[in-house]
Structure 1
Amino acid sequence: MDFKSCVTWKEIVQQPSIWKEEVQIVRDNLKAIGEFIEGVKADKVKVVFTGAGSSEFVGNTLCSYVNSKIDIDVVSIPTTDIVSMPEQYLDENTATILVSCARSGNSPESVAAVELADKLVKNIHHIFITCNAEGKLAQISKTGDNKFLLLMPEKTNDKGFAMTGSFSSMVVAGVLVLLRKDFEGMAARVEYVAELVERNIETILSNAEAIAALDIERIVYLGDGAAKGLAEEMSLKVLELTGGKLASFYNTFLGFRHGPKSIVNDKTAIVCMMSNNEYTRIYELDLLKEFKNEGGKKKIIVLDTINDEEVKANADFYFTFADEKLGQIEDVFADLAYLVCGQLVSLVKSASLGINPDNPCPTGEVNRVVKGVIIHEYNK
């Protein structure tokens, strides 16, 4: 199948232009966003990123970095956890800003999480980061002064099955909103990475094609910090687009040794996403050396933002996005290049298996917007 004829291909490669557009959207709304957040009156405010599936991974990707930069407690809790056990995740006496991330805004759990928060938390405010102006979350945003809608560009409302531009745009928006006090610095990082990816998209595609061409039955994504959230998203992407034919997993470099490494066999590719943090890279290199010393036919693939000869010597495939700046900025921005590569791996692998990436589950067991969920009344 010609994957370049798929809408998913278009939605992946247009992401850099979306990120730049996203910068301007947040810039235009910066004053209103600041007034809304700073209008939450409380001694302690908790920010909860929430969503389901890829929308959950938005918070998983950015929370560790954001928490290192501001003194507000920022956590990521999936809507699926909030809905099934709200009393463990929603504290009635803690002022909370619930940041609901959603492509369509129509998932039952997304709506239910908002309703539960309104019911259980005394001082609750909502920020909706969504890609669908007609979705239920966008409509709910109009129902009170405690709600703020940050609408993504229309083209982020992916028409393909899998979330691509919708996911990355919400990551970008989340970072810019919470770190708005250094907005221009954050914006410059986003725009720089966007331009780098645009210039190198054919090289990134070639890297992805090389990975997808490997004779494998399993693929593992490893990353630390922000890259752990991206590893989770990339693992889901390949699972979705191949209809489960390629088994996928994710972890951190250190965490992988603690049991999950059991998944490795001679039909496994391990995609290692290197950090820009010098201290973190020491641990990541240790694992690469361990893989190298073990031998076997597993494939060790490294994605890197700098040109590191020692890392390269311990990899079977070494793909670097290095230029004069990329290795010097924070991972949450630099790793967007890794994300595009992972998305393209999933796309190319899907097409090579004869699957339509735009509709990898035509029998309907899995859907673009989840179906079959019954929301039960919470009366405690």
Structure 2
Amino acid sequence: MTTLLQRDPQAWRDIGGLDTAEEIVHQPALWRELSALLQSSDARVSAFLGDCLSDPRQRVILTGAGSSAYVGEIVADELNAAWPAQVRAVATTSLLTHPELYLETDAPTLLVSFARSGNSPESLAAVSLLRATMRDARFLNITCNAEGQLARQGEHDSRTCTLLMPAASCDRGFAMTSSFSCMLLASLCVLGKDNGAERLSVLAGLAEQALRDWSAPVAALAAEPVARVVYLGSGPLEALAREAALKILELTGGRVLAMANTALGFRHGPKSALNGDSLVIMFRSRKELARRYEDDLLQELLRDKVAGRCVTVGMGGELDSGAPLWPDSWLAPLWLLMAQQFALHKSAALGLRPDNPFADGTVNRVVQGVTIYPHDES
């Protein structure tokens, strides 16, 4: 019988985790589909962007809420270093409360919105805010849902370009998995300078290998009792660590506490959270300088014996994929495969239903209960 991440599909269905398991595993196929989709959309998107990224007056804001915000945080610094335009990541949840700190009324601004459903109130409100307050604002929507409000409201607007991800990336499960990786890779392809189409094919092959090789050890790791999980990452991988920590919090319904930090920053107080019931997972950077700092911390943790276990993922780590020396933002989707599987298995081990860990409705797949207030209120 065919197995899916160490269980047969019916077993995942029985415990309410089939959607999430399938959506983790089908990511390589979606990345290949994304490559073809981006090539067919290249002329349209390129015409919309023009030479704006080469203009030092241009402001580019990468935005989203929750996991979607972390997409922007992973790619922002690399894009900012590549172009004369000023590129920064600002979550919609910050943009709406303090717009005056992030918006320059007279500067040409491109708002890049990442959205799985396109129905989150903050995403829609952020677009409305810029429309109402900015003299020269344009909108690039990278979304997974053709029927979402974000995609539909920009259909006939010349200031808006909507780039739809493969339809299957609009995850049915509670946690963002394939939606996250597709939007991340799409942003690197359309806003970066590298040949993204070629990289997507290579990355998909590496991901298939990683899913095969890591499936058993990650499932075994998740079977071990743990009360706290700490994800560490340097540079762009710091935001990846945040996303990985969020996956644990979401899929375990908060029963396993999780936090994220950098290798250097962890010593400055957060290390005090460790105890014998803690698991530290470090995403290894492709940069040799960063890895030297990471190695120092790992040796310190092993020497101090303040954590139950430490695991390394990525370049030279216990879980590696033989990936080329690409920028960390490009390799982040590979390392995330480990974190997604770990969260799924940990959810199942706790007797939860991974596709919907919050049966009581206190936390929802699309956020609810948000009141949007007028932007001119002090």
Normalised by the length of structure 1, the TM-score is 0.92
- Compute the displacement of 1:302 (Å): 0.8
Show CA shifts across 1:290-327 (max 9, x none): 112112452111113336xxxxxxxxxx2222x3xx14
Distance 1:29 1:213 in 2: 43
Q: 1:336 aligns with which of 322, 333, 336?
A: 333
Aligned to 1:200, the other structure's residue is in SS state helix
Following superposition, the deviation at residue 21 of structure 1 comes to 1.2
Partner of 1:55: 68
2:303 maps to 293
Q: Which residue of 2 aligns with 1:229?
A: 239
The more displaced of 269-278 and 331-340 is: 331-340
Match of 1:46 among 39, 45, 59: 59
What displacement does 1:144 show? 1.7
Partner of 1:353: 350
Q: Is the 8 A contact 1:8 1:357 kept in 2?
A: yes
Where structure 2 has 5 or more consecutive residues not aligned to the other structure, the ranges are: 1-6
What's 2:124 paired with? 111
Counterpart secondary structure, 2:114: strand
The answer to whether the 8 A contact 1:272-1:302 is kept is yes
Q: Which amino acid aligns with 1:367?
A: N
Task: Give, in whole Å, the separation in 2 of the partners of 1:200 and 1:259.
Answer: 34
Asked if residue 249 in structure 1 is aligned to residue 259 in structure 2, the reply is: yes
Partner of 1:303: 313
Q: Which runs of 4+ in 1 moved over 4 A?
A: 39-43
Determine helix, strand or coil for the equivalent of 1:319. coil
Give the conservation status (yes or no) of the 8 Å contact 1:95–1:122. Answer: yes
Q: Deviations for 1:9-36, whole angstroms, at most 9, x for unmatched residues?
A: 0001001111111122111111221211
- Is 2:153 aligned against 1:140? yes
Letter in 2 for 1:101: F
Count of residues in correspondence between the two structures: 364
Say if 1:32 and 1:254 are closer, same or farther in 2 by CA, change over 3 A: same
Q: Is residue 28 of structure 2 the alignment partner of residue 19 of structure 1?
A: no
- Which ranges in structure 1 are unaligned for 5 or more consecutive residues? 308-317
**d(CA) in 1 for partners of 2:85 and 2:227?**
43
Percent of pairs with identical residues: 38
Per mean C-alpha deviation after superposition, the further-off stretch among 213-222 and 290-299 is: 290-299
In the other structure, the counterpart of 1:210 is: 220
Asked if the contact 2:165/2:182 (under 8 Å) is kept, the reply is yes
Q: Distance in 2 between matches of 1:266 and 1:206?
A: 24
- Match of 1:272, SS state, is strand
Whether 2:185 is the aligned partner of 1:172: answer yes
The CA distance in 2 between the partners of 1:82 and 1:301, in whole Å, is 36
Quick one: distance in 1 between partners of 2:209 and 2:73? 28
Distance of 2:305 and 2:343 partners within structure 1: 26
Task: Using the TM superposition, name which of 58-67 and 236-245 deviates more.
Answer: 58-67
